[in-house]
């Protein structure tokens, strides 16, 4: 019985210590809705938006180039399918990737790094392609998959950095598509 009383007395004191440490950690966090770190995160997300979603939307520039240069000039239908495939994969897979990133928050950094590697590798591989099938695989499929895993962790970062100005922040981020397109 004496032991039971000791545990009951020690338990609240342990909880208070944990709360004090947590309060100390919260006090050292940078401010949300402003400050240098929040605006840098917003600028990074704007850039990602411009690169990931703007690239398939401004594909008309690539189509013009490909249609005038060999070996792609003889396959105009295949060239048009590249950006359509990338956009379709991104739109159809977006809810699944968003749920994955939300369900496993510890994998956000890994997801974004893997997405960056796949996106860059797809664009580098596309520069060595000699057929529209190669471009479809690299700029159409791989770019879309890598871009999704790069993009969605950034959206959760913006969601965490901005609370009261969340609408403004996402509005700025989403203008990146139009700015790059």
Q: Are residues 13 and 39 in the same domain?
A: no
Alpha helix segments (H runs only) across 33-165: 35-52, 54-57, 59-68, 76-103, 108-126, 132-135, 143-161
Structure-model confidence comparison of residues 69 and 41, the more confident one: 41
* pLDDT classification of 17: cutoffs 50, 70, 90: low
pTM: 0.77
Q: Are residues 158 and 130 in the same domain?
A: yes
Q: Are residues 20 and 38 in the same domain?
A: no
- ∠ CA 97-147-94 to the nearest 5 degrees? 30
Q: How far is 72 from 132, CA to CA, in rounded Å?
A: 6
Domain count, the chain: 2
Range of the domain at 131: 31-180
Q: Are residues 48 and 60 in the same domain?
A: yes
Q: What is the average pLDDT across 15-24?
A: 58
Q: What is the average pLDDT across 75-101?
A: 89
For residues 87, 91, 92, 95, the Cα torsion angle rounded to the nearest 10 degrees is: 150
């Amino acid at each position: 019985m004496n032991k039971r009383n000791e545990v009951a007395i020690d338990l609240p004191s342990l909880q208070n210590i944990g709360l004090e440490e947590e309060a100390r950690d919260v006090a050292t966090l940078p401010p949300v809705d402003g400050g240098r770190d929040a605006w840098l995160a917003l600028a990074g997300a704007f850039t990602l938006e411009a690169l990931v979603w703007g690239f398939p939307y401004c594909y008309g520039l690539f189509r013009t180039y490909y249609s005038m240069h060999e070996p792609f000039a003889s396959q105009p239908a295949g060239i048009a399918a590249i950006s359509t495939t990338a956009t379709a994969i991104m739109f159809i897979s977006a809810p699944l990737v968003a749920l994955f990133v939300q369900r496993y928050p510890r994998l956000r950094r890994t997801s974004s790094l893997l997405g960056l590697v796949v996106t860059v590798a797809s664009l580098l591989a596309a520069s060595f392609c000699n057929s529209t099938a190669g471009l479809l695989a690299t700029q159409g499929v791989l770019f879309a998959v890598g871009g999704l895993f790069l993009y969605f962790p950034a959206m959760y970062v913006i969601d965490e950095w901005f609370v009261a100005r969340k609408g403004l922040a996402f509005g700025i981020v989403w203008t990146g598509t139009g700015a790059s397109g």
